[in-house]
Amino acid sequence: MTIKTNNAALGHARQLIRDARVARDTRDDWSEHAPDTDQENAFIDKHGYAEYGKWHLGEDSEKSNDTKGRYSFPFGDFRRLHRCAILAIESRAAQYDHDDIATAAKSLLEELDKD
């Protein structure tokens, strides 16, 4: 498994922050705010996997483009970036030695917390 930072998603996350499309929720809220399987499938049906991928900081290039398994470390609900998701990503990525993703999450947190 070769999960790397999804640069398209990182750019998308930064744009969401610039556009103030963020939920400034707390650390443990992500389990309640994350999209469920039905919401993910509906988004994919409407927008496709490329757009779905833009909501995930991790990407495994060894997996097919048209699978959910290619994408990991989700950060939003397909409308807004969630601060709680970025916090979860930073912690989980560091725990599993995905240092580039942890660094990207940390940079997003810094942008979020500037205000």
CB of 59 closer than 8 Å to CB of 114:
no
DSSP 3-state of 66: coil
Query: What pLDDT was estimated at residue 115?
Result: 61
Query: Among residues 83, 77, 91, 88, which one has the least CA distance to residue 108?
Result: 83
Residues in the chain: 115
- State pLDDT tens for residues 67-112: 999 999 999 999 999 999 999 999 999 999 999 999 999 999 999 9
DSSP 3-state of 2: coil
Q: With a cut of 70, say whether residue 4 has pLDDT above it.
A: yes
Rg, Å, the chain Cα set: 13
Between the alpha carbon of residue 77 and those of residues 27, 37, 62, the distances in Å are: 16, 12, 25
- State pLDDT tens for residues 17-73: 999 999 998 878 888 899 999 999 999 999 999 999 999 999 999 999 999 999 999
Confidence at 1, pLDDT banded by 50, 70, 90:
low
DSSP 3-state of 19: coil
Query: What pLDDT was estimated at residue 31?
Result: 86
Count Cβ atoms within 10 A of the Cβ of residue 114 and give its class: 0-12 exposed, 13-18 middle, 19 or more buried: exposed
